[in-house]
């Protein structure tokens, strides 16, 4: 998979992709992430990428030309399966969407800033608008990182058995069960005995039951 992220703050993305699973996924060739500085596509001497809103009002609007030039440049190199725009008024990002996006080949993610992008960008270039929740971030970069992370870890081969995505919360619309490691007793607080029993069927039953309990308590909206 290839992910091209269009942003006016490319350096903001660097450290996020330079560690842990996301770094290993890139090193192993499962995914290539490229950040593109929108200002490089401005024809303006000041490398300007925003302007005052027609009709007045506070806040700058990101202009269409640099975005169009960047997206068209990328699209001249390869075919993209989706062009995502990160925006608080987009469709809410959920695991189902991550699963679907993890199967595509080439992805563009456009990060918004200021009062957003000229509406014509959305009409002409964007195939899907995504929000990561009902709160407002200063820019789409963090949201692009969130979406990329959720997608990349689902690419076959990125996770090993130990980190398998199959046992994640939400993968079966249930929250994950509690987990424990050594010591078996911490200051009188013992690990549930069933986990030390070595009885795999009992352990699986217990985990499923705990998933149900946890989901009922914390996220009853996930249950049918
Ligand atoms: Cl995708 N962008 C911004 N700026 N704020 C958000 C968001 C995205 N999703 C939730 N809040």
The residues lining ligand 1, judged by C-beta closer than 6 Å to any ligand atom, are 86-88, 112, 130-133, 135-137, 139-140, 143
Predicted confidence at residue 163, as pLDDT, reads: 64
Q: Which residues of the chain have pLDDT under 70?
A: 162-163
Predicted confidence at residue 72, as pLDDT, reads: 98
Pocket perturbation via mutation, ligand 1, pick of 126, 128, 135, 136 by most ligand atoms within 8 A of CB? 136
Predicted confidence at residue 35, as pLDDT, reads: 98
Token pair 């870890």: residue: 153
Pocket perturbation via mutation, ligand 1, pick of 8, 85, 87, 94 by most ligand atoms within 8 A of CB? 87
Q: Are 12 and 141 in contact (CB under 8 A)?
A: yes
| Domains along the sequence of the chain with CATH | 2-152 (3.40.1280.10), 169-222 (1.10.1270.20)
Predicted confidence at residue 5, as pLDDT, reads: 98
Helices (H) and strands (E) in the chain, counts: 7, 9
Structure tokens that stand for 82 in this block: 């989706």
**What is the number of the ligand 1 atom nearest to the C-alpha of 138?**
4
**What is the number of the ligand 1 atom nearest to the C-alpha of 133?**
10
Structure tokens that stand for 93 in this block: 């990002």
């Amino acid at each position: 998979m290839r992910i091209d992220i269009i942003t006016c703050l490319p350096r903001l993305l660097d450290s996020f992709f330079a560690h842990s699973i996301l770094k290993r996924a890139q090193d192993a060739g499962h995914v290539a992430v490229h950040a593109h500085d929108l200002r490089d596509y401005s024809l303006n001497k000041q490398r300007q990428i925003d302007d005052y809103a027609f009709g007045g009002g506070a806040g700058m609007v990101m202009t269409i030309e640099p975005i169009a030039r960047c997206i068209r440049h990328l699209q001249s190199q390869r075919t993209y399966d989706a062009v995502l725009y990160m925006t608080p008024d987009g469709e809410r990002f959920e695991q189902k969407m991550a699963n679907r996006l993890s199967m595509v080949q080439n992805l563009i993610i456009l990060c918004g800033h200021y009062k957003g992008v000229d509406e014509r960008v959305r009409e002409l270039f964007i195939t899907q608008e995504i929000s990561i929740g009902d709160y407002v971030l200063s820019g789409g970069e963090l949201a692009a990182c969130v979406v990329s992370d959720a997608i990349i870890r689902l690419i076959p081969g990125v996770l090993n058995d130990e980190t398998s995505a199959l046992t994640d919360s939400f993968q079966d619309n249930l929250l994950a069960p509690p987990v424990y490691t050594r010591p078996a007793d911490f200051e009188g607080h013992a690990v549930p005995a069933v986990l030390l029993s070595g009885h795999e069927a009992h352990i699986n039953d217990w985990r499923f039951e705990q998933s149900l309990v946890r989901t009922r308590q914390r996220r009853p909206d996930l249950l049918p």
